[in-house]
Structures are given as structure tokens and as C-alpha cells.
Chain A
Amino acid sequence: MSEHRGVWVFSENKELLLELLGQGSELAKKLQTEVTAVALGSGAGSQANDLVAHGANKVFVVDHPILEKIHADPYVSALFTLVNKYKPEILLIGSTRRGKEIGSRLAAKLEIGCVSDCSELEIDDKGQLLMRRVVYGGNAIATETCLTKPQMATVPPRTFEKLEPKERKGEVVKADVKVEEPRTEIIETKEIEAATVKLEEAKVIIACGRGVEKKEDIKIFEELADILSGQVGYTRPLCEDRRWYTEWIGLSGHYVKPALYIAAGISGVIQHIAGIRDSQIIVAINKDPEAPIFEIADYKIVDDIYQVVPALSAALKKLKK
């Protein structure tokens, strides 16, 4: 059982890999072991020094032309070979959509359990990894442990902080592993506009819900967002029911944690709240005093968003003069 040693981290997303290293280092310290990063890709070796600077005691590099595009088959085969050979105690995988399928398939191949989308990781007094994740559509947080080794979890972006880069010592190992050919072929890639991707990084978010009557009215909220150097976000009904947009805030969409979250015309179903829970300050504006969003708001305004939001823009403009 105890042949498993060390904390391993992997993500195909470079930024997320650094965040995992940050958390991995902390877990490794508690377990008095080392943290190892796995870098896969074509030319993956170029990342190695940066990974060491961000806390990796060891970096396994698999540099292979097949890994240039991200397909599950080659990535899973490379990770499987390494994990099976070196047997880490803990394995953290970045929970992007690509990472989720890689992680799940890898867990299946290793015949082990895996806890998805962990928001907290902790080592208990027996040295066991405790993992916390949101379940039941945002209604509850489950604490789970692994009964198999390596103890495996996937972790979403921006959950943990990366370490400050500095001169550190670390070993870089070029791993010569067999990489399987993908059985899938990517025939087209369409970039999604960067603005929608950056919601998680926004300091201020003005979120629009069903209370917004027409799509062209969004400009009222965009104006406020501009003044506050923030971003406009949407709820799932505006995306899935009205089909105005494709990316929503909430469970199964974006998890956000801005300093300021202004919920405009949002009723606040639990699935939406699950995505905004970590916001520093929540302001809710809604005509309906019974709207559940008010229960989780710091500042509540029971009024018409079409009145309050322009007034807010005006008040802020006055301030800037």
C-alpha cells in the first residue's frame, strides 16, 4: 500500500498546472514528500524551468510530436505509463473540459476512484487526502476520500494560487514513454472570443438575468460594466432558453469570484448561486422582494433594474469627474 509516494500534478493548461503546483507543494510539505509536475506536449521541455521555479521538485517531460494536439488517447497513455511506473500517492489533474476527459479515462485505466472538481484539498491527521466538492446542484459540499491509490482529484482553474516564481532546485527528467496514436482527428478549431473566456478573472461582474426584457437592453448593463472596468455576465435562462448567449454563470457554466458581483434581475436559483458563492461582495437588484438572490446578498435593492442601473452609472460617472 505504502509504495505510493509523492504528489503529482498535471494539466494541459499551463497556467492551471502552475496553480496545481502551488497546492501540490503545500500538500507535499504536509506529507514530507516531493511534488512532481508532468509536462506533456510537443516541445514540452521548454516549460520545465518555469515549473521548477514555481515549486516542482521534479518534472517529467514527455516531448512527442503526437502530443502537439490535445487528444485523450495519447495523453492518457503517456500519463498512465508514468503513473503506473512511479506510483504517486496523490494525483491532481486540472479540471478543464479536456482535463476532465483525460482524468476520467486515466482513472478508469488505473481502475481507481477520482473526485471531480475539488474546491478544497486537505491532509487529515492520518495523512489521508480529504477532498471537498459542490454537489446536488450547488446545495451542498461533500467531503470525500479515495479508497484507492493514487488518491486522485481534478481541480478547476483559479481554485488555488500559484507560488511566486523564484530560483529553486528541481530535477528535470525526460521520460521516454510510449505514446498512443489518437483515434480522434481534429478537423476544425474555432476560437471563442477572448472576452467571454475572461469572466473568471474579472474584478467586477454585472450579471443579467430574466429581468432583462430585450437583448438590446444589455447595453445598459454594458455601460455600467465599462464604467467599473468590469464584465457583463449572464444567467443560464438567457443562454439556454432565450439563446442570446452561450456562456452562463453558475453550475455547469462559469464559476466566478469577483470583488464585486452585481446581480441585475436575477432570481437566484441555487444553481446560479453555486457559481457566485465566492464573490467578495454581492449586490442584488430585483423588483421581487421574495427573490432568493436577496438571501445571499450583501446589499439589497428592491427596485426596477431599468431605473437603478442607469442611476448607478450616472452616480459613478459623477464620482469620476
Chain B
Amino acid sequence: MPRIFVCVKQALDVAELKIDSATRRPIIAGVPRKISDFDKNAIEEGVRIKEKIGGEVTILTVGLEEAKTTLREALAMGADKAYLISDLAFEDSDTLAVSYILAEAVKKLGEFDLIICGEGSIDSFSAQVGPRLAERLGIPQITYARKVRLEGDRVVAERSLEDCYETVRAKTPVLLAVTGEINEPRIPSLMAIMKASKKEIVIWKAEDLKISEEKVGKTGSGIEVMDVLAPKMERKQIEIKAETVEEIAENLVKALIKEGVIAR
């Protein structure tokens, strides 16, 4: 019976992000957080494997106290256990530091068959934590997986690459990073949500994992963010109006020829 870990991130809901028009800076305060889209696919895939062949699905997240809501959601989707790895010292950790924290948590949890992650997070989308975690744990990875099946102690996954679909096989333990194509995440029923609210969420702090503070947070990160600004978008904003669509079409064609973007 496979033991499956799913790593999730409670990300900024970027669709709700507003920009301060004076400074062009995004206003982060007050932006709701939600479970990152592809991480839902990761949870769903873990739960589907469990439903098919048995096993246990454990959710891990590194985040703030409020990430508990994300873990509750994952439990309602069918996960069995949830761990919130949270410490003030973790603030401003980059992928280097977060993958170290996750690796220590995974080591403490012991043996496993699969780790499933989403291909990237909706807010920063660097798509690094999965492969970095695999490297730290010394296991192979299969990224951009769009189909997955377990065959005994082998994982077979179809990867979605730019020029091809590539079917890859590897012996467990394996880390999988899944794409949004892989499944349609379920919406948990009210019953499932009620049941999940009774499940325990374990909280681990830095000391529980014997994490050295210089390897996390700002000091443990390899990247420093200097500035974040909304891009300038200056467009002509010319509305083409006319009595008939034929005239509209002709006027647009004229304009585009003038722009030199279509040949006459």
C-alpha cells in the first residue's frame, strides 16, 4: 500500500491582487490566500491513487498559521493526515530554504513511495521546489506529469513537454510534479468537509525538525527580491467604430497596413 505525501502551498490569490496606480506596486495586504491551483491536482491525484489501490495520503505545507484552511480543504478532498510546518523563522524563505524545510519534514515522517507536487505555484511560479526536494532526498523526479499509474514498485507517468509527450518509468520512491491536465479536482461534499474538520492537523516548528535557523528565512535564501512593480502597458486604445461591420473591417485593415503589421 503506497504511502503518498502531497506538498501544497497556500498561495496569494493572484486574481484578487490590486495594483497601487501611483507607485505601480502590488498591494499584498488583504489579498486572500488560497490553495495553489496545481496543488489541488496533486491532492486529487494522490487521493485517486489511494481510492484505486489503497494507501495513505499525507499533506505537507510550509506556511503561516492560516494555511490550516488549505490543509482542511485537502483533508476534505480525501487526504488522511496533514502537517503544517510553520515558524516565524521561515518568513521570506525562497525555494532553496523551503525545499530544505520540506526535506527535513519528509525525513521525519519516514518511508514513502510517492511525493506529489503541483508543477508550479500560482503566485511565484518558479517551479523549483519539487525538483529541489527530490534532489535533497536523493530520489528521481518526473515533472509535468499529465497521466500517472503505479505498477507495483514502479511509477509510470506521461510527461507533457514542449515538443512531445514522454512516458517515463521509475522505481519508487519518486517525486511527481503534475500539470493541470491530469485530473479535475473534486469539490468536497458537505459531509466530507464536516468529517475533515474533526481530523487533526499536526503543527511542526523549526525545533521539531531540528532545522538550523541560518538555513531558512532570509539568511537561508539564495535569492533576494529587490523590487516588485506592475509592468507598464502603454497601448494606443483606438476604438474603431462605423455603421456597418464591413466598414469596421476595412478601417481596421487600413490601420494595420499603416502599422506595417500586415502586407498590402
A binding-site residues for B, Cβ under 8 Å: 72-73, 76, 96-98, 100-101, 103-105, 107-109, 111-117, 130, 134-148, 182-192, 197, 204, 228, 240, 246, 251-252, 259-260, 269-271, 273, 277, 280-283, 294-303, 307-308, 311-312, 314-316, 319
Complex interface: stretch among B48-56, B66-74, B76-84, B156-164: B156-164
For residue A236, which residue of chain B has the nearest CB? Answer: B180
Do A192 and B164 contact each other (CB < 8 Å), given the known contacts A184-B142, A277-B233?
yes
Task: Kindly state the separation between the CA atoms of A135 and B227 in the bound complex, as whole angstroms.
Answer: 11
Report B241 CB to chain A, min CB distance, Å.
8
Task: Assess whether A183 is in contact with B222, with CB atoms less than 8 Å apart.
Answer: no
Residues of A within 8 A of B223 (CB): 113-115, 144-147
| Chain B residues numbered 74-101 whose CB sits less than 8 Å from any CB in chain A | 94-96, 99
Q: Which residues does chain B contribute within 8 Å of A240, judged by CB atoms?
A: 180-181
A104 touches B132 (CB 8 A): yes
20 other contacts beyond A101-B143, A112-B222, A147-B224, with CB at 8 A cut-off?
A72-B140, A98-B161, A101-B141, A104-B130, A117-B125, A138-B14, A140-B19, A140-B26, A142-B225, A146-B222, A147-B223, A184-B169, A204-B262, A228-B262, A246-B181, A280-B259, A282-B235, A298-B238, A301-B239, A312-B252
Cα separation A115 to B224 with both chains bound (whole Å) = 10
Helix, strand, loop or mixed for chain B's interface?
A: mixed
Interface size on B, residues (CB 8 A): 83
One digit per residue, 1 when the CB lies within 8 angstroms of any chain A CB and 0 when it does not, for chain B 190-228 equals 000000000000000000000000000000011111111
| Chain A binding surface SS class | mixed
Whether the Cβ atoms of A308 and B248 lie closer than 8 Å is yes
Can you pick out 24 interface pairs between chain A and chain B where the beta carbons lie within 8 Å of each other? A107-B222, A108-B136, A114-B95, A114-B96, A137-B15, A140-B231, A141-B229, A142-B227, A143-B228, A146-B223, A183-B139, A186-B167, A189-B167, A190-B164, A192-B163, A259-B260, A259-B261, A269-B15, A271-B14, A299-B252, A300-B239, A302-B239, A315-B250, A315-B253
